[in-house]
Chain A
Amino acid sequence: MNEQRARLIVEDSPSESPQLRAENLARIWAEPIGFWGWFKAVHHTTIGKRYIATSFGFFLAAGLLAGAMRLQLAFPEAHIMGPDLYNQVFTMHGTVMMFLFAVPMMFEALSVYLVPLMVGTRNIAFPRLNAFSYYLFLFGGITLFAFFFVNSGPDRGWFAYVPLSGPDFAPGKRADIWAQLITFTEVSALAVAVEVVVTVFKLRAPGMSLNRIPVFVWGQVVTAFMVIFAMPGVVIASTMLLLDRTGSTQFYNPAVGGDVLLYQHLFWWFGHPEVYIIFIPGTAIVSTIVATFSRRHVFGYMALVLSLIATGFIAFGLWVHHMFATGIPQMSESFFTAASMMIAIPAGTQIFCWIATVATGKVVLRTPMLWVLGFFFIFIIGGMTGIFVASVPVDLQVHDTYFVVAHFHYVLIGGAVFPMFGAFAYWFPKITGKMMSEKLGVWSFWLFAIGFNVTFFPMHILGLRGMPRRVYTYPAGAGWTLLNQIESCGYILLFLGVLLFLINVWRSLRNGPIASSNPWGAGGLEWATDSPPAPYNFLDLPTVNGSEALWDAAPDQPVVVGLHEDVREILTTRLMDAEPEGRDEFPEPSIWPFVAAVVTTALFIGSIFRPIAVSIGAVPLAIALIGWFWPTREESARRRERDIWQKNA
C-alpha cells in the first residue's frame, strides 16, 4: 500500500459510531427542501433522476409524433396532415429524439446519475454547473415544444440544411428556434462532458487505476471527449445560420461567395460523431449488463476499452459519407468509404467480446439481459446495413431513401433504446429502491422487439423500391402502400410495449418489492451502497482492487478515512493510478444556477428576435454568475487550510 494513502487513512480515524456518522453526513449532504429547495438541489442523484425523467418524457413526446407520421403515411395521398404540419412533425421527431432524448438520456442522464457512484465518490465534479446544465436542457425542451404548439415548430428537418433553412427560404422564426434549441443542448451537453471528464480523472476511488475503470465509465469518458470535440462543429454551423438569418451575414449565400456545402461539412463533423455519442454509452451499458448476467468479468476488457477509444477517433473521419451525393471528388469519397468500413472493426471486436462473454459464462435471462440480447440482434442488422451506406455506389442508390431510415433506426433504437430499457430494468432497483415486475418486463420487451421489427424492417424494402425519405405522402400507384400499412401497424405494438413499461414503472414505484443493495449480485461500486443511495453516496469512501470492484474486493478491503465529515469534503486522486492526491470541498446547494439558467434562456430566446438581446442579457447573467461564485468567509478559510495541508503533504 502506498505511503500517502496509508497516511490519509490513518489520520483522524473515526471515533463516532457508524450510525452517528451517517446522520452527520446526511445532514451535511442533505438536499434543501421546500419550494425553493427544489431549485437549489445540486446532488448528482437528484439532478440525474430529473435528467432521466425529463429526457424520457421527451422520448415519449417524440414517439407520439412518430405515431402521427405513421398515421399520415398509412394511406397514399392522405390529407390527415398537410405538408406544413407533417414537416414540423418529422422535424420535431428527429430533433427531439436526437437532441432532447438520445444524447441527454444516454450521455447526460446516465453518466450524471451513475458515474460518481461507479467511481466511488460523493458527488459529481462541478455540481452547480450540473444543475445549471439540467435547467438549460429543460428550458430548451420546453421552449421548443411551446413554439411547436403555437405552429412555430421547426420544419426544415433535424439537419436544417441551408439554403432551405436560410433567410430566403424559411420565413418566420421556425428555423431560428431550431438553431437556438441546438445552442441550449450544446451548452448542457458540454457542461456535463466537462463534469464527467473531471469526475473520472480526479475523483476515482483509490486503487481504481485506468485499467480498473468499469467499462461503462470508460464509455462515458470517451463520449464526453467526443462531445467536447464534436459540439463546436454544430455550434459554429447553427450560429452562422442564426447570424445569416437575423444578422444578414453571408456565410451560406452562394451569390456572394458563401457556400451551402460549408454548412453540411460543419454539421456532419458533429452529426456523425453524434451517432457514436449516442451509441457508445449503449455499448457501455451492454458491457456492464452482459458481465453481470453472464456471471463473469467481461471478456477482453482491454480490447473493449481500446475499441471504444478507437471508435471515438474513427467517428471523426466519417462525416462525408452523409454527403456522397453532393459531388465530392471520387478520391476523397473513397477515403471516407474506407474509414466508414473501418469502423466495423472496433464494432465487430466489441460484439465478438460480448458473445465470448456470454458463451463462456452462465447466462441469467432476466429482463435487463433480454434487452441486451435484443440489442445484439437489432444492432447487428443495423451494423450490416451500415456497410451498404458506407459503399459509395450503393449509397448513391439508398441515400435519402427509407433504406437509410431503416438503417439508422436499427442502429439507434438497437444501439441506444434497447440498452436504455435494459439499463432501466438493471438500475431501477438502485435508483428507486424497488424491484420491477419481471413478468411485465418480459412482456414489454417482446412487444417492443416485435413491434420494432414490424415497423422498421419493411423500410429496407421500401427504400430499395425507391421511396425517398421525408415525404409527407406518396402516390397510390407506387407499390408502397401495403408495406407502409404494415409499418403503421407495427407502431401500435411499439406503443403498447412502451405503455406496458410505463405501467411497470408506476406499479413498481407504488408497491414493488423492496430492493436490496445488490439485487443482481453485480460487481460495480454503485451496488456497494444503499438502494436508493443516501445523499452522501457512501458512508465510507471505498477503495478498489479490480475492474469489478465488488467481485474483486479483498476480504479486508480498506476504506478511505480521514476526510472531514462536517463539511462537503471529497477525496481527489491522481489520473493514472488513482492514488490519493488531496482533498477538495464541494459547493453547497444554491439558487444561482437556476437563476443563471433562466437568464440564459431569456437571452437565447431574445436573440432570435433581436440580436441585441445577447448584449442586454449579458448583464443579468454576469450578476447571476457573481452570485454563483460568491465565496463565504468560512469556505475561504477552509480552502486556505487545505492549501497549507496540501503543501506540507
Chain B
Amino acid sequence: MKGKWILLAVLSLPPFVGCKREQRVFDPGACGATPAGATVLNEVSAGQPPPQGAPIGYQQSAYTVAEGKRLYQAYNCVGCHAQGGGAIGPALMDSEWIYGSSLEQIHSTIVQGRPNGMPSFAGKIPDYQVWEIAAYVRSMSGLLPSDVAPSRSDHMPASVPEAAKEKEHPEQENQQPVEGPKP
C-alpha cells in the first residue's frame, strides 16, 4: 500500500520545475537600485560588492519580465521602438541585432546609448530596472521561454504577444563592435 503514496508523490513533482518563474524580489538591495551607469565618485559602496556581468534570474522570472514590459511603456521606449516593430528606432522583434542580443549587450545599449539616436539612460534608471527592460526586450523576439514571456496586454493588439512569438534566431553577421563608455 506504500506504493500508492509514492505514485502520488511522483505525480505531484512536475510543478517543482517552475520555481524561478514565480520569484518576486521587490527590494533589489543597494547595488541593484543604484542607477545604472551613474558616475561613481567613490568605489566603496555599502553592502555587498556590485555583481559582475548579468545577474542571474532576470530572464527566468515572469515577474521581472512583466515589470520590464511595464517600464518599457512607462519610460517611453515605445516612443521610438513602438511595440517592437520599430519606427524612429530599429525594430526589436526581429532577428537583427545591431549591438548584440545578449542580456549584457542590451543592458549596455540602454545605459550607454548608441549612435544615430539611442539616448543614454545612464544615471536615470535603477540598475535592476535596466536588467528587467533588457530581459523584456529579449522576449520581444521570442528569445525567452513562453511561460516566462508576457502574454497579451490590455491594449489594442499591436503585435503578437511575446509569449506566442516564434523564436527569431539572432543574426550575428551584421553585428557591430560595441564601444566602451566614453570618458
Contacts and interface: CB of A to CB of B under 8 A. Distances in A.
Interface of A: 35, 38-39, 82, 84, 139, 142-143, 145-147, 150-152, 163, 166-169, 171-174, 244-246, 248, 250, 253-256, 598, 601, 605, 609-610
A470 to B, nearest CB: 18
Contacts of B21: 152, 172-173
28 contacts: A35-B1, A35-B3, A35-B4, A84-B24, A84-B26, A146-B13, A151-B23, A152-B15, A152-B18, A152-B22, A166-B154, A167-B150, A168-B151, A168-B153, A169-B154, A171-B150, A172-B22, A172-B63, A173-B22, A174-B22, A246-B151, A248-B161, A248-B164, A250-B157, A254-B154, A255-B155, A598-B11, A609-B147
Interface in B89-135: none
Contact of B15 (A39, A150, A163, A245): A150
Given A150-B22, A171-B62, A248-B164, 16 more contacts: A35-B4, A142-B11, A150-B18, A150-B19, A152-B15, A152-B22, A167-B153, A171-B65, A171-B66, A173-B22, A244-B151, A244-B152, A248-B152, A248-B157, A253-B152, A610-B146
Contacts of A38: 1, 4
B8 interface: yes
A41 B62 CA distance: 42
A601 B8 CA distance: 12
A256 B157 contact: yes
Interchain residue pairs A-B with the least CB separation, the first 7 = A167-B151, A171-B66, A172-B62, A171-B62, A146-B12, A168-B154, A248-B152
B75 interface: no
A166 to B, nearest CB: 6
Main SS of the interface on chain A?
A: helix
A256 B151 contact: no
B81 to A, nearest CB: 19
A142 B12 contact: yes
Interface in B61-94: 61-63, 65-66
Interface residues of B, number: 36
A143 B12 contact: yes
B46 interface: no
A636 to B, nearest CB: 32
A554 B45 CA distance: 92
B181 interface: no
Greatest chain A CB density within 10 A among B23, B24, B157 is at B24
Contact of A146 (B16, B26, B160, B161): B16
B53 interface: no
Contacts of B22: 150-152, 172-174
Interface in B138-169: 146-147, 150-157, 160-161, 163-164
B161 A167 contact: yes
A171 B152 contact: no
Interface string B1-37: 1011000100111111011011110100000000000
Nearest to B12: A146
Contacts of A39: 4
A609 B17 CA distance: 12
A570 to B, nearest CB: 29
Contacts of A146: 12-16
Contacts of A139: 11
Contacts of B151: 167-168, 244-246, 248
B19 A255 contact: no
A155 to B, nearest CB: 9
A139 B22 CA distance: 22
A256 B153 CA distance: 11
B59 to A, nearest CB: 13
Greatest chain B CB density within 10 A among A152, A254, A598 is at A152
Contact of A168 (B14, B15, B65, B152): B152
Given A152-B22, A173-B21, A244-B152, A601 B16 contact: no
Contacts of A152: 15, 18, 21-22
B118 to A, nearest CB: 27
A147 B22 CA distance: 10
A502 B153 CA distance: 48
Nearest to A246: B151
Nearest to B151: A167
Contacts of B65: 171
Nearest to A170: B66
B152 A151 contact: no
A88 to B, nearest CB: 9
Contacts of B14: 146, 605
B153 to A, nearest CB: 5
Contacts of A254: 154
B18 to A, nearest CB: 6
B140 to A, nearest CB: 15
B24 to A, nearest CB: 5
A84 B27 CA distance: 13
Contacts of B146: 609-610
B98 to A, nearest CB: 29
Contacts of B4: 35, 38-39
Contacts of B156: 255-256
A630 B109 CA distance: 64
A152 B160 CA distance: 26
Nearest to B19: A150
Contacts of A35: 1, 3-4
Greatest chain B CB density within 10 A among A139, A143, A163, A173 is at A173
A173 B12 contact: no
Nearest to B164: A248
Contacts of A166: 154
Given A142-B11, A163-B154, A254-B154, A173 B62 contact: yes
Contacts of B18: 147, 150, 152, 173
Contacts of B1: 35, 38
Nearest to A144: B15
A39 B1 CA distance: 11
Contacts of A171: 62-63, 65-66, 150
A254 B153 CA distance: 11
Nearest to A82: B26
Nearest to B153: A168
B129 to A, nearest CB: 15
Contacts of A253: 152, 154-155
A240 B150 CA distance: 18
B154 A147 contact: no
Contacts of B3: 35
A412 B85 CA distance: 53
A601 B63 contact: no
B75 to A, nearest CB: 17
Contacts of B13: 146
A246 B146 CA distance: 10
A250 B151 CA distance: 11
Nearest to A249: B152
Contacts of A244: 151-152
A207 to B, nearest CB: 41
B8 A142 contact: yes
Contacts of B154: 163, 166-169, 253-255
Contacts of B8: 142
